Chains A and B, each alone.
Chain A
Amino acid sequence: MSHNIAQFRHDFAIIAGWLPFGAKVLDLGCGDGALLQYLQGALEVRGYGVEKDDANWLACMSKGINVIQMDLESGLSGFEDQSFDTVILSQTLQAVHNTEGIVREMLRVGREVIVTFPNFGYWRNRMQISTGNMPVSKALPYQWYDTPNVHLCTINDFDQFCVNCNIQVKERLVLTDNKPVTFMPNLMGSLAMYRLKAATRP
């Protein structure tokens, strides 16, 4: 997924707000490196991006971002337990096949995890479904037959997923057009942002 600065500036700022200054960060599916570049500028984070696409790899390198070329689906065995302050999966969750596996891997490698994804429950998506078509929008720009997205979900779905997987939600923010949404977020929110921790077992 590519990060368009103009479009997603606010979610970058929210992510920055969830990181300590100088944090050690791993950005999975880092695209062209725009988020890491922003975080390095804003917070002097020490970061690595993980990206499988050749063109995105070069885009990261041209920004001076450390980038590790690998496919997330093969897991994070190249990274030690709790070796990062925060592991980020920004707008990539919906394109991951082994969703539960990768979230568990992130919680293993990072002391905290940030996950953001387009909310499939957003009313505009529901409208398009109700008129009989798969949604196509700024946040979901692909046709059904030509999309990297395989696991689209709603905010309710992801909340339930966290309960089922015993994941602690430290914070949740929902955005539409770069503005926070608090009223009926699963209906009114376009982008869901979660700050997660592994829950301590009772």
Chain B
Amino acid sequence: MLENNSVGIVAPKTAHFSVPLTLKSGAALPQFDLVYETYGTLNADKSNAVLICHALSGTHHVAGKYTENDKYPGWWDNLIGPNKPLDTNKFFVIGVNNLGGCHGSTGPTSINPATQQPWGSQFPIVTVEDWVNSQTLLADYLGIQQLAAVVGGSLGGMQALQWTLAYPERVRHALVIASAPNLTAQNMAFNEVARQAIITDPEFHGGDYYAHGVVPRRGLRIARMLGHITYLSDDAMGAKFGRKLKDDIKYTFDVEFEMESYLRYQGDKFAGEFDANTYLRMTRALDYYDPALPFGGDLCKALAQTSQPAKEQAQFLVVSFTSDWRFSPARSREIVKALLDNERTVSYAEVTAAHGHDAFLMPDPHYHAILRSYLNNVKVGAMA
């Protein structure tokens, strides 16, 4: 059953790009596909397009269902639809799977035209900058010169920020949610443990496991279990599981506590549907993103590099969640401060939420009211 404010039944589309894309690393993709979905209608002057950038494990399937019988809708369906906070009666919403992904856009599982084999270990490392560059090509493909907004949580928020830095004339609003201007050492450390779990799995085969007909399930599973711990707050885990037992204590290493059952379930589910090479690359993209690095770590200077007057540059909404310790409010405030120092148009909301980093995906009424009220102020041309 579809709820009545759903975008309804949707279908992914593929955009093929036959011009080589040079990546930040210096490597180049000779050609590539981006798989994407759209919801709503592009208006007459093409001024109502909103790009959704996904985080670590997200996809282009942001809203709606592929069939009425789908168990789950797209990953941000609670936000996007007719009369929802990101209202598809007003906006033309684009979801895209990033390069290096495993859901249809060119990535490690794709065929390398040079070898006619899966790219595997040979697929280059992609960065936030590369993703944004490729997203602008998708915007060109769709005939959109300027986006009304770019919206992203976590790693997606970094892409929204990067849009404003690299293409200031092509985006009017950036919604940077539960994000950071770069990762802290602790945050990168979690990524390194996750990668080591995958890379040291005997079935990883240096990244060319496709040829061996295996996948490094154990590594990917542990990587995801670790991730889930960091996406929840201590309080949220306490409230959800506490010390609840599945059954009487049996003095074994099997699942005894509810929390273990949850982590194993999440790990197994993820290992069955996600590609390990993609996971490695997504975490690396997180690690590498640091727009202030060429400016001695000064984000204020990084934001000052565009020659446009502040008035004409993208306006920002920055949102953080009080219990998010992986992308803490303090990191969002760094972005806000750099914007304020540049006299940019910015609002900042710090949402009281118990769910930790996961809160950015939750349908919390106040959080959604924040996004709704901000998006109400985004001006777009007439629909017809």
Instruction: Scan B318-340; emit 1 where CB is below 8 A from any A CB, else 0.
Output: 00000000000000010011001
Q: Give the interface size class of chain B.
A: 20 to 34
Say whether A68 contacts B370, CB under 8 Å: no
Task: Give the contact stretch, choosing among B159-167, B289-297, B372-380.
Answer: B372-380
Q: Among A69, A78, A83, which residue has its beta carbon within 8 angstroms of that of B349?
A: A69
Instruction: Scan B329-365; emit 1 where CB is below 8 A from any A CB, else 0.
Output: 0000100110011010111111010000000000000
Task: Give the contact stretch, choosing among A55-63, A92-100, A119-127.
Answer: A55-63
Instruction: Scan A75-110; emit 1 where CB is below 8 A from any B CB, else 0.
Output: 000111001000000000000000000000000000
A57/B349 contact (C-beta < 8 A), A62-B376, A64-B377 known: yes
Say whether A67 contacts B370, CB under 8 Å: no
Taken together as a complex, chains A and B put the C-alpha atoms of A61 and B173 apart, in Å, by: 15
The yes or no answer to B111 lying at the interface (CB within 8 A) is: no
Say whether A78 contacts B373, CB under 8 Å: no
Say whether B346 contacts A66, CB under 8 Å: yes
The yes or no answer to A70 lying at the interface (CB within 8 A) is: yes
The yes or no answer to B246 lying at the interface (CB within 8 A) is: no
The yes or no answer to B366 lying at the interface (CB within 8 A) is: yes
Query: CB-CB < 8 A to B374: which residues of A?
Result: 61
Say whether B369 contacts A48, CB under 8 Å: no
Minimum distance in angstroms from A157 CB to a CB of chain B: 33
A24/B343 contact (C-beta < 8 A), A61-B373, A61-B374, A78-B336 known: yes
Q: Among B333, B340, B352, which residue has its beta carbon within 8 angstroms of that of A48?
A: B340
Query: CB-CB < 8 A to B350: which residues of A?
Result: 69-70
Say whether A69 contacts B348, CB under 8 Å: yes
A78/B340 contact (C-beta < 8 A), A61-B370, A66-B346, A66-B347 known: yes
Interface SS majority for chain B = helix
Say whether B373 contacts A62, CB under 8 Å: yes
Say whether A68 contacts B347, CB under 8 Å: yes
The yes or no answer to A146 lying at the interface (CB within 8 A) is: no
A54/B366 contact (C-beta < 8 A), A66-B346, A69-B348, A69-B350 known: yes
The yes or no answer to A46 lying at the interface (CB within 8 A) is: yes
Minimum distance in angstroms from A77 CB to a CB of chain B: 8
Say whether B377 contacts A58, CB under 8 Å: no
Give residues of chain A (34-73) contacting chain B, Cβ–Cβ below 8 Å: 46, 48, 54, 57-58, 60-62, 64, 66-70
Taken together as a complex, chains A and B put the C-alpha atoms of A83 and B374 apart, in Å, by: 25
A78/B333 contact (C-beta < 8 A), A58-B369, A62-B376 known: yes
Say whether B336 contacts A68, CB under 8 Å: yes
Minimum distance in angstroms from A48 CB to a CB of chain B: 7
Minimum distance in angstroms from B69 CB to a CB of chain A: 38
Query: CB-CB < 8 A to A48: which residues of B?
Result: 340, 346
Query: CB-CB < 8 A to B376: which residues of A?
Result: 62
The closest CB in chain B to the CB of A46 belongs to B343
The closest CB in chain B to the CB of A70 belongs to B350
A61/B377 contact (C-beta < 8 A), A68-B336, A78-B333 known: yes
- Taking Cβ atoms with an 8 Å cutoff, the residues of A that contact B are 24, 46, 48, 54, 57-58, 60-62, 64, 66-70, 78-80, 83
User: 9 additional contacts, CB 8 Å, given A61-B373, A68-B336?
Assistant: A54-B352, A54-B366, A60-B347, A61-B370, A62-B373, A68-B340, A69-B350, A79-B337, A80-B340
Can you list 29 contacts pairing A with B, beta carbon distance less than 8 Å?
A46-B343, A48-B340, A48-B346, A54-B352, A54-B366, A57-B370, A58-B369, A58-B370, A61-B347, A61-B374, A61-B377, A66-B347, A67-B347, A68-B336, A68-B340, A68-B347, A68-B348, A69-B348, A70-B333, A70-B348, A70-B350, A78-B333, A78-B336, A78-B340, A79-B337, A79-B340, A80-B341, A83-B340, A83-B341
